[in-house]
């Protein structure tokens, strides 16, 4: 299908593998406020980001041409978060086209790994060459546009944006052209060069946070549906704070009342489409979802149990239904059974940011949606060690959490010994608690000057209650019916990532086999028990792992 996502199994697989890991939230202060401090009973019954106190923060509806709805959901939600953070609303009812993030950039670079010509100073180390997705086998079989049909992985934005890749505005010019513009037709150039000049352009928005929210729809062991009020309230709360939200749903079912542009699926259909959420309405009448047969009788089960709808921005342009051209927005019942994988984005106000020019020291560039965990009773720490690539100052750190309510303590050391991340001079330490899982940027208490070649470390202690947790990215070759031979590669070199347990540090590169075995066992256990993915066959030989998701954000020295 050309209009809707050709394959969103990546999202389904992510949800299955992260049933207990689905949620993330943070704040830049030492004590994170998070959305749990917003009393949901005080939220308005209706909220629409197209009209917040008379201002519109939503960009125009666009038209996808391939199976890349997920890129439109990502870009559209990021645009909302950016416009809101920077107070760039326009009068309600007017077009807000002040920003236009490129779906083309997201789709192409998400699924093309780091090449020799692609190493970006301060963003991608040459040691990570070859890391990421390799679609060459798919492209050989299905053509060079395979990346536009993979579909589904908007949850990967948690790392993609957080790694400094996008969002990039379509207006950006390189060599007198605008290569990132999404061609709203079947013709035109859809590929992008795999080199520093094009992939490594500065992001148009400064990433702050991604939050994996609880899905509104949950199912018990018998497969019975239940509304997850916490998931619904999390979405509403994020919207109310001006954060962009994406969600997955099923768009190929008969549960559509075209007259009212109202969607309600009460079956067991899997999600196959991704959209941006722009608002909600608690009082949207449940009767507007009701569908009737040709003889006028009501279709049983077509009316939700109660009122309420999310307002979603679709990516099918201005579509004709019942002879009328709609505005590209739909009402999605709170009680839709197919809803899952909700994710929100937060960006900084560019005018208030300490530094808009940023370098990122990082090793986790596989862009996976899967994270394995190991739990320990004794004190356990994770660390990444970096060498400053130029004279610069460290002012933020970033890391990934994979559980709700994660307690994270950090320590930063400078001039460390080769195999001891906690040696040298302690520069700073702090603590944060994160309501949801996701990628979180943390402001340091001050900036720390580094000279080219200075060796420094970021050490994390991550806990759930009294249990210490190790979090590591992993991936496997994907070989589903519509996605053949999509390979993933993680690269871990000696001296990059370390684990502290049993009173000593060990190099992650020496633990590859045990971590791959752990990832395989965790994945296989879920696949064996989840009916949503019976077609997936796992081979441990296809598994790969990546460095710890710990990053340093630095400002280049002014010249």
User: Mean pLDDT over residues 119-138, rounded?
Assistant: 85
Tokens coding 511: 């633990």
**pLDDT score of 214 more than 50:** yes
Residue 535: predicted pLDDT: 53
User: Mean pLDDT over residues 268-295, rounded?
Assistant: 93
- 158 closest CA partner among 11, 270, 39: 11
Residue 228 banded pLDDT, cuts 50, 70, 90: very high
- 139 closest CA partner among 185, 191, 184: 191
Q: What is the DSSP letter of 493?
A: -
Positive or negative, the CA dihedral 164, 167, 172, 178 is: positive
Residue 407 banded pLDDT, cuts 50, 70, 90: very high
Residue 337: predicted pLDDT: 93
**pLDDT score of 17 more than 50:** no
- pLDDT tens, residue by residue, 94-125: 999 999 999 999 989 998 999 998 888 777 88
- pLDDT tens, residue by residue, 302-355: 999 999 999 999 988 877 666 566 788 999 999 999 998 799 999 999 888 888
**pLDDT score of 456 more than 50:** yes
Residue 154 banded pLDDT, cuts 50, 70, 90: low
pLDDT averaged over the chain? 86
CA distances from 248 to 74, 236, 276, 523 (A): 11, 16, 9, 22
User: Mean pLDDT over residues 360-373, rounded?
Assistant: 91
Residue 151: predicted pLDDT: 63
Residue 379: predicted pLDDT: 96
Residue 9: predicted pLDDT: 36
Place of tokens 């035109």: 188
The region of weakest confidence among 113-117, 201-205, 410-414, 537-541 is: 537-541
Q: Domains of the chain (ranges plus CATH)?
A: 352-556 (2.60.120)
User: Mean pLDDT over residues 499-528, rounded?
Assistant: 91
Residue 84: predicted pLDDT: 98
User: Mean pLDDT over residues 6-17, rounded?
Assistant: 37
Q: What is the DSSP letter of 199?
A: H
- 492 closest CA partner among 165, 125, 18, 159: 125
**pLDDT score of 26 more than 50:** no
The values of phi and psi at residue 483, to 5°, are -130, 95
Cis peptide before 167 (omega within 30 of 0): yes
**pLDDT score of 11 more than 70:** no
- pLDDT tens, residue by residue, 424-442: 999 999 999 999 999 999 9
Helix (H, G, I), strand (E, B) or coil at 274: strand
Tokens coding 343: 């994710």
Q: What is the DSSP letter of 352?
A: G
Residue 57 banded pLDDT, cuts 50, 70, 90: very high
- 34 closest CA partner among 23, 45, 26, 22: 26
**pLDDT score of 476 more than 50:** yes
The region of weakest confidence among 178-187, 210-219, 273-282 is: 178-187
**pLDDT score of 16 more than 70:** no
Residue 25: predicted pLDDT: 24
**pLDDT score of 14 more than 60:** no
User: Mean pLDDT over residues 173-180, rounded?
Assistant: 94
């Amino acid at each position: 299908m050309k209009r809707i996502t050709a394959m969103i199994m990546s999202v389904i697989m992510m949800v299955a593998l992260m049933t207990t890991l689905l949620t993330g939230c943070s704040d830049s202060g030492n004590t994170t406020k998070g959305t749990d401090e917003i009393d949901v009973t005080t939220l308005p019954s209706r909220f629409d980001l197209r009209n917040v106190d008379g201002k519109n923060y939503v960009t125009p509806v666009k038209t996808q041409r391939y199976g890349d709805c997920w890129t439109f959901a990502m870009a559209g939600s990021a645009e909302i978060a950016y416009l809101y953070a920077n107070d760039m609303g326009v009068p309600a009812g007017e077009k807000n086209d002040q920003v236009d993030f490129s779906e083309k950039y997201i789709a192409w670079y998400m699924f093309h790994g780091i090449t020799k010509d692609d190493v970006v100073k301060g963003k991608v180390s040459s040691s990570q060459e070859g890391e990421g997705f390799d679609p060459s086998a798919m492209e050989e079989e299905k053509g060079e546009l395979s990346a536009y049909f993979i579909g589904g992985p908007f949850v990967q934005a948690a790392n993609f944006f957080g790694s400094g890749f996008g969002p990039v505005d379509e207006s950006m010019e390189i060599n007198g052209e605008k290569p990132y513009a999404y061609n709203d037709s079947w013709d035109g150039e859809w590929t992008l060069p795999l080199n520093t000049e094009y992939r490594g352009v500065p992001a148009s928005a400064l990433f702050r946070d991604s939050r994996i929210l609880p899905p509104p729809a949950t199912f018990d062991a018998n497969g019975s549906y239940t509304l997850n009020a916490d998931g619904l309230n999390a979405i509403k709360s994020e919207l109310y704070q001006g954060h962009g939200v994406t969600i997955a749903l099923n768009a190929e079912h008969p549960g559509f009342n075209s007259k009212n542009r109202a969607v309600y699926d009460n079956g067991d259909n899997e999600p196959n489409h991704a959209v941006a959420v722009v608002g909600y309405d608690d009082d949207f009448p449940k009767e507007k979802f009701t569908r009737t047969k040709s003889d006028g009788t009501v279709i049983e089960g077509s009316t939700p149990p109660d009122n309420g709808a999310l307002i979603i921005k679709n990516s099918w342009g201005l579509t004709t239904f019942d002879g009328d051209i709609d505005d590209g927005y739909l009402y999605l019942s709170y009680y839709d059974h197919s809803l899952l994988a909700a994710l929100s984005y937060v960006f900084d106000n560019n005018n208030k940011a300490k530094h808009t020019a940023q370098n990122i020291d990082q090793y986790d560039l596989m862009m996976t949606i899967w994270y394995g965990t190991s739990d320990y009773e004794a004190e356990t720490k994770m660390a990444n060690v970096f060498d400053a690539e130029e004279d610069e100052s460290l002012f933020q750190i970033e890391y990934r959490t994979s559980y709700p309510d994660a307690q994270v303590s950090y320590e930063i050391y400078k001039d460390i010994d080769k195999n001891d991340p906690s040696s040298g001079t302690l520069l700073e330490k702090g603590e944060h608690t994160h309501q949801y899982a996701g990628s979180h940027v943390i402001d340091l208490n001050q900036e720390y000057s580094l000279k080219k070649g200075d060796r420094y470390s970021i050490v994390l202690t991550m806990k759930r209650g009294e249990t210490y947790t190790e979090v590591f990215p992993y991936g496997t070759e994907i070989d589903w019916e519509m996605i053949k031979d999509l390979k993933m590669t993680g690269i871990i070199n000696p001296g990059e990532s370390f684990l502290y347990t049993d009173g000593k540090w060990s190099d992650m590169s020496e633990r590859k086999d045990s971590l791959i075995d752990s990832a395989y066992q965790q994945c296989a256990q879920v696949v064996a028990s989840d009916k949503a993915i019976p077609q997936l066959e796992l081979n441990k030989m296809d598994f790969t792992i990546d460095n710890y998701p710990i990053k340093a954000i630095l400002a280049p020295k002014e010249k």
